[in-house]
Amino acid sequence: MWRSFRSWPWVARWASYVAAGLVLVLVAASVTAVVVVRRSMPQTSGEQTLAGLDAEVQVLRDENGIAQIYADSTDDLMRAQGYVHAQDRFFEMDVRRHITAGRMAELFGEPALETDKFVRTMGWRRVAEQELALLESDTRAAMEAYSEGVNAYLGERSLSQLSLEYTVLGLTGLEYEPEEWTPVDSLAWLKAMAWDLRGNMEDEIARVLLAVNHPEQDVAALYPGYPYDRHAPIVRRGAVVDGRFEPDASGPGSRNPARPAYGAEVVEALEGLQRGLERMPELVGRGSGIGSNSWVVGPEHSATGQPLLANDPHLGTSLPGIWYQVGLHCTTVSAECPYDVSGFSFSGVPGVVIGHNQDIAWGFTNLGPDVTDLFLERVEDGKWLYDDRYRPLKVRTETIEVRDGEDFELTIRETDHGPLLSDVSAELSTVGANAEVTKAPDRGNGFAVALRWTALDPAPTADAILALNRAGDWDEFRAAAADFSVPAQNLVYADREGHIGYQAPGRVPIRKSGNDGTVPSAGWLPENDWSDRDVPFDALPMVLDPDEGFIVTANQAVVGRDYPYFLTDDWDSGYRAQRIRELIQAEADVSLDEMLELQLDDHNSLAEELVPYLLDIRLPRGYYSAGQELLADWDFRQGADSAAAAYFNVVWSNLLRLTFHDEIRESLWPDGGDRWWLAVTGLLREPAGTWWDDRRTSNIETRDQVLRTALMDARDELVRRQSLDPGDWSWGRLHRMDLRSQTLGESGVGAVEWLFNRDGYRIGGGGSIVNATSWDAAQGYEVTAAPSMRMVVSMADLDESRWVNLSGVSGHAFDDHFTDQTDLFVEGRTLAWPFSREAVDEAAEDTLTLVPSD
C-alpha cells in the first residue's frame, strides 16, 4: 500500500521552497497560535445542517474520536461519511487527489514537477475517469452522495478553517481555493494504492542491472526460489479442473464444466508460458518491507467456539496514518439501506475497506502477483518497432501548472504496451541502455521502456468495496471479490455461521510464450505480449473451511508449484507466515487475547539460522567478545529493550554491507528484508562462495572472515551510537519510529516540522517478523514500514472485537485524536471496538446531529 512521501523526490528539496521568513512569522504569531491551530478543529457535538439530506443523521464519537454514523438511507449515510472524512482529513484528501492527478506542482512548485510528470505519464486520473462509467449505478450514486458531503463541508468553511497546513502554505504566498470533490477523486486514489502494491517491477530492473557485471548464477543466488519444503503456501490442496479451482482436487482432471472450456489458442499460450518458466529460475521476494499479516481460525481452533479473524497491513509510516476508523449503519437494515458495517476506510473513498458487518468479517494482505511488465521499445521518428514494422506512437500533450513558475508542457508517448516511462525516468532509461536481449535491432542510444500494468486498464474495483460491505455469506463475499481487480489481494473470510475461507481475487495477466515477467521484454516481438485473457476468477485459488481449521496469509506463496497459471515467482519468502502457522498449531484453542498477542510476536527466524555461525567465530576476548556473548543466551526475541537484538541487527547490517556493497551499485544495496534472509542463509552454506570476496582487495575473503569483521564492526558501531557497556544497549533506541507529515513535515524548516511531525517512538519487532516494523539496512535502523493498524474480529460477539490505528482518526495537528492511538500501538495495546447500537451508545462521548437544510 501507500508508502511515506519520503519516497517522492520533491520532498527532500522542499526546504528550499519554504520562505525563511516563515519561522519568524510563526514566532511573532505565537500569541494567537492557539486560535490559529484550533480554527480547523471540527464540530463533533450539537447540531449542524448538511444540505442534501433526506432525514437526520447521527454521528456518535467515542473517546478516541472514532465516528459511528447512523442514517435512514444509503444516500444519507454516504453523504455523512463524506462530511465526516472532510471534517477530520480534508487536507490529506486534497493532497492525495493532487498526487493522483499529477498536480502537486500547483501546490509545491518546481520541486514537485518530476513526480507530476511520472504520474501524468501513467495517466492515473485518465483511467479513473474511464472507470466511473463502468461502475454499478448504486456505486456511482454512493460516490456522488459522498462527494456532496465533502463539498458541503468545504462550502461552510474558509481555507484556514479546513486545516492548519493551508494556513502555513498561505504564509508562503500560496493563493489557493480547493476545488469541489468528485467521484473521480475517490477512484484515482485506488490507483495510488495499486501502484504501491504493483508487484515485481523493481525486481525486473534490479535483475538487469545486476546482470551487467555478474554471471547468471551469482544473480540467481540473490533471488532464491520459494522454500516450499519449509514454508507452506496459503492454499495447500486443490487444483484447477476444467478452468475452475477445486479445493478438494488432488490434481488436474475433468468433469462437467461450469463454464465453456478455453479455446486452443489459450491452451497453446499457457503451454508456451509453462515452457518458458521451465527455462527460468524461481525467483522470490521484494525485500521492500511492504506486506501484511492476516489469519483466521475456525470454531475448532477458537476458544470462543466461533471464528476469530486478525489483520494488520504493513505500510509505510506517515502522519496521519493511512486508515480512518468508522462505522456505517443504516438505522433499519433493508434492501434499500443494506449497510451495517464497521472498520477501516480510506479518507476520500466511501465505504469500509477492511472490517466486518453484521454477518461476515474480512481482511486483506497483498497477493503480489506479477501484474507489471517492462517492455524495451525501439523508437525512431515518432514510431515504434513491432513485428518487423514501425507503427506510430500514441502521443498526447498535457500542461502542468507550476506554482511561481512557468507551465510545463509534457509530451506523453505510448506504445500498445503502455506509456514510455523512460521519457520521465532516468533509472528506466538506464535499464533500456544496458539490457541485453535476443533478436535486438540496432538500439542506437538505448531503448525506450514502456510499462504494461493491469491498473492502467479501467476496471470496477470500487464496486467490490461496497459489495463487501453488504455481503452476508460466502457466495456474496466471493461475488464481491470477483470485482476486485487491482491491487490483487489475499482475502480472508469469516462468518457468524462458523465458516472460514480464503479467496485470491484480482486481474492477473496471462502472458504469451516469450515473456515470463521477470526481466524487461523485447517489445518488438509479438510473442512477448500479454494475451487478451486474464487468469479466470474461478481458477484463482480459494478454500472454504479447510481441514486444518485455520488459514494464514502473510504474502507467502499462494499455491504450490503445480498450479497451471503463472501468478508470480516473487513471493515473500514466508518467514512470517510459517511463524504464525506454528504458533496457531501449538495452541489447542486460540483466544482473542492470544490472537492479539500473536500480532506482537517479535521472534527473529533469521537469527535461528545465523546466530550459530556467529557464535562459531573466534573473537579477541574482552571488548569484542562482550558483544558476541549477548547472542549466546538470546531467545531471538526483538523487544525494544533487548540488547541482544540491537547487537544482532547491527551485525546483520554490517554483514550485508561487507558482503554486497563492493559488488552492487548503491541503488541496489540490500535492504535486509526477507529475500536477503533467504539468500544469505543459502550463501552461509558456501564458505568460499564468490559473494563473500571483497573485490576491492587483493585477497580473497571467505565467509568466516566477513562474519568476524561484521561482529567486530557492530561492537564498535554500538559503542559510538549508544554505550561502551553492552548491557546498556537497546534495540528500541536504534529502531525508532518517526511519524511524519507527508508534505510540510518534510519541509526542512524546523518550526514547521515541529508542528506536524511526531518522532522518536522506540519500538520492537523488525523486518520479516510477525510484528513487522521494517527497516532498511542500506539506510539505517529507523522504521520504514509498520503495521498500519491491527484488528481482531470475534464472530462470537462482535462487540468483543479489538482494533487500533497507527496514529489517530484526526488529521489536524494538536487535535486530541491526532496521535492518541500511537502510544497504545507502540505498547501493543488495542481499543474496544463497539458495534451494536447499545455498545456504541454506551461508548459515545460526543453526538453530532446532521439535519437537512430547509
Q: Cα–Cα distances in Å, from 262 out to 244, 250, 257, 270, 840?
A: 11, 21, 11, 11, 51
- Contacts of 687 by beta carbon, 8 Å cutoff, 6+ apart: 702, 703, 704
- Contacts of 766 by beta carbon, 8 Å cutoff, 6+ apart: 602, 604, 638, 645, 649, 731, 735, 772, 773, 774, 775
Of the candidates 610, 595, 574, 579, the one whose C-alpha atom is nearest the C-alpha of residue 770 is 579
**Residue burial 534-553, b: 16+ Cβ < 10 Å; e: rest:** bbbbbbbbbbeebebbbbbb
Calpha distance 448→377 (Å, rounded): 5
Backbone angles phi, psi at 606, to 5 degrees: -60, -40
3-state secondary structure of 276: helix
3-state secondary structure of 450: strand
Rg of the Cα atoms in the chain: 27
Is residue 204 part of an annotated ligand binding site?
A: yes
Q: Which amino acid, residue 5?
A: F
Cβ contact 210:507 at 8 Å: no
3-state secondary structure of 474: helix
- Mutual angle of helices 201-211 and 426-434, in 10-degree steps: 50
3-state secondary structure of 805: strand
Cβ contact 578:606 at 8 Å: no
Is residue 370 part of an annotated ligand binding site?
A: yes
- Identify the burial level of 854 via C-beta atoms within 10 angstroms of its C-beta, where 0-12 means exposed, 13-18 middle and 19 or more buried: exposed
Question: What sign does the CA torsion over 284, 287, 292, 297 have?
Answer: positive
Q: How far is CA 661 from the centre of its chain?
A: 27
Q: What is the DSSP letter of 812?
A: S
- Contacts of 123 by beta carbon, 8 Å cutoff, 6+ apart: 412, 419, 456
Q: Which amino acid, residue 675?
A: R
- Identify the burial level of 269 via C-beta atoms within 10 angstroms of its C-beta, where 0-12 means exposed, 13-18 middle and 19 or more buried: buried
Calpha distance 564→227 (Å, rounded): 19
Is residue 114 part of an annotated ligand binding site?
A: no
Question: 491 - beta bridge partners?
Answer: 364, 503
Q: Could you list the active site residues?
A: 292
- Known binding-site residues equal 204, 370, 373
